[in-house]
Copies of this chain bind each other. A is one copy, B any other.
Amino acid sequence: MALTIGVDVGGTKIASGVVDEDGDILDRTLRHTPAGSAEKVALTIADAVSELASRHVVTAVGVGAAGFVDETRSVIRFAPNLAWREEPLRKKVGELVGLPVVVENDANAMAWGEYRFGAGRGESHVVCVTIGTGIGGGIVLAGELYRGRWGMGAEFGHTQVVPGGRPCGCGNLGCWERYASGTALLADARRAAEADPSSAPHLLELAGGSADGIQGEHVTEAARRGDPAAHAAFDGLAGWLAQGLADMAAVLDPGRFVIGGGVSGAADLFLDKVRTGFAERLTGRGHRPPAEIRVAELGPSAGVVGAADLARRR
């Protein structure tokens, strides 16, 4: 059975795994990301791959990385959190490990993993929305990963939802990820706790009394304990997610949305509202089958599994 290696390069860690044709991970490594040096990142990837390749017969390597990857799946044009500018990662890693390499956007790799082996199985048109500190995305159309003309499609997080809205690190105003990401959820919870502490008893208890001390996991835990401010923050997230999915359905008309990323672990706190809101806002509702909305199934491994499978199909 042919094995490939998937690598998921994040801002702090590099996860690698040997993946079989069923999407199962047979072996893993985890290394810190030497974020400040493009050279060292390439060397670390190569080192992780070599270690795994010494223990398994593998045929190719897929590398998923946060950044704009070019349409030839070779060069990372730009990565906000790493020292990459026009980085020829495919060539560098390929020369170091002596195996065929493909490079993918990390959200694309995750989407492909979910499509092949997770919550996207059995549906040909899948849009994956990854909700973490920002919002990433991946698109599978008619069973193929869609990358765009220049490899930069599916940047859902940077579509505008509020004209003149909250400033975004991308230089624009009112981007979706300023309203529907984990960062937005946390900011909303802190603001509510600051403005009206009586609405946020559990949030403040978990945070040691201060709104500034509220962390992302506190919002989830407080909502589960019935904290009104935490619930309100999740309701806000749900509303913006529902609108964004409805907008993407108007453009892409997928059969299914898959919601992944760290925030999807709290899907029980917002998914019903997303589904209801989506159904109310979908254009053409009543005259079209509505897309399903499901939670991702592969968790943090989706990137490794997806990158490995894309390498197999290179």
Q: Which A residues fall within an 8 A CB radius of B? A: 68, 77-78, 123-125, 137, 141, 146-156, 158-167, 170-172, 175, 179, 187, 191-192, 194-196, 243, 246-248, 250-255, 280-281, 283-289, 291
Contact = CB atoms under 8 A, between A and B. Distances in A.
Contacts of A163: 161-164, 243
Given A172-B283, A280-B196, A284-B78, A150 B251 contact: no
A76 to B, nearest CB: 10
Nearest to A290: B150
A195 to B, nearest CB: 3
Contact of A286 (B155, B196, B253): B196
20 contacts: A77-B287, A125-B149, A147-B253, A149-B253, A150-B288, A155-B283, A156-B250, A158-B284, A159-B251, A164-B179, A165-B165, A165-B166, A166-B166, A166-B167, A170-B195, A171-B191, A171-B195, A172-B281, A196-B286, A248-B251
Chain A interface mostly = loop
Contacts of A250: 155-156, 158-159
B149 A167 contact: no
A151 B288 CA distance: 9
A137 B252 CA distance: 11
A125 to B, nearest CB: 4
